[in-house]
Amino acid sequence: MRILNRQLTIHEFSRYLSQKHFGKLAPDSIVLHHSCKYKLQEWNGHDSLLAIKTDLESKGHCAGPHIVVSYDGIWLFTDMYNIGTHGEEGDATYKHLDGRIYRGHEVPSNLHDYGNFKLQNYSIGIIVIGDYDLETWNGETKRNALYCVDMLIKRLQIPYQRVYFHREFTSKTCPGKMITKDWLFKEIANLEYAKKEIMKNEIILETNEIKEEYKIQIDPISVERAKNIGILSKVDSLEKELIAIASMRTIDYMERRIDSLENKIKSLRNSLS
């Protein structure tokens, strides 16, 4: 079994996703898991990832989950370009020329006319290290898992209805009894709010820096020139835009507005130089 065995931070995963090529048929769903066998307190990075690989190979699998999440980061396992083995019927869907449907990792070669089944869709499998039958995700593991799911939803345009739990395909409790759809989507919504606040605060800091830069222009000629080009009024207009940004509902639209603000900030800095 070939695995990527690569550890990423949230920011690194974001960059990785933005550059990732998924081919003509990108994954269109997510299946979430937990790991009763691999305890959070026993997690040991690369060594633990290789242990998961060995365990899957002993069961005859040629692939595994795409992502493994723990407190130390987001780990790439099976390439997301490929179909993983993680969720039984949730792995992928194939359709025969005569209309028959097969769900699973791959169509068995002993199935009659298996060559005429065509791949329709497949999912991204995410394992969150730990047992979540008695508690929800917490700490850095929670943060990494929420960002991971949120970024995949946005990058692949996956609707909430296609975010599945492993227990929807088996009799197991996976990804844990304490992990519910209501809880998950509420936490993702809180994450959106937190990201908006962080982005807004970054712009506020920049506008304040511009004000300070203006104040230290003590040369009378420089001060007069600054007044003539309307530095203060431009900074005030930036602050008004921040108020508007705070009420925006979507991060994508907000990011476009912030890009515009950043260009204005660059212009102001050039005026002060």
Per-residue pLDDT of the chain (273 residues; tens, 9 = 90+): 999 999 999 989 988 999 999 988 999 999 999 998 888 889 999 999 999 999 999 999 999 999 999 999 999 999 999 999 998 899 999 999 888 899 998 888 777 788 889 999 999 999 999 999 999 999 999 999 999 999 999 999 999 999 999 999 999 999 999 999 999 999 998 887 666 666 666 666 666 665 565 554 444 444 455 455 555 556 556 656 655 555 554 455 555 555 566 666 666 666 655
Q: Name the residue among 124, 141, 119 with its Cα closest to residue 132.
A: 141
| Residue 130 located in a structural domain | yes
| Residue 1 located in a structural domain | no
- Helix ranges restricted to H, the chain: 10-19, 46-58, 139-156, 181-215, 220-228, 231-246, 251-272
| Residue 84 located in a structural domain | yes
The DSSP secondary structure of 101-168, one letter per residue, reads EEESSS--TTSTTGGGEEEEEEEEEEEEEB--SSS---HHHHHHHHHHHHHHHHHHT--GGGEEEGGG
| Residue 185 located in a structural domain | no
pLDDT in the model for residue 218 = 41
For residues 136 and 252, membership in a common domain is answered with no
pLDDT in the model for residue 200 = 63
Here the tokens at position 243 are 């108020």
Domain count across the chain: 2
CATH number at residue 46: 3.40.80.10
| Residue 45 located in a structural domain | yes
Q: Of the residues 122, 148, 179, which one is the last residue of a structural domain?
A: 179
pLDDT in the model for residue 217 = 46
- Domain residues for the domain of 106 are 6-179
**What's the number of CA atoms in the CB half-sphere (13 Å) around residue 93?**
13
pLDDT in the model for residue 207 = 61
pLDDT in the model for residue 249 = 45
For residues 87 and 28, membership in a common domain is answered with yes
For residues 156 and 205, membership in a common domain is answered with no
For residues 140 and 268, membership in a common domain is answered with no
Q: Do 72 and 103 meet the contact criterion of CB atoms below 8 Å apart?
A: no
Instruction: Identify residue 27 by its one-letter amino acid code.
Output: P
For residues 39 and 142, membership in a common domain is answered with yes
For residues 123 and 254, membership in a common domain is answered with no
Q: Name the residue among 31, 123, 127, 25 with its Cα closest to residue 83.
A: 123
For residues 32 and 164, membership in a common domain is answered with yes
Distance in Å from the first CA to the final CA of the chain: 58
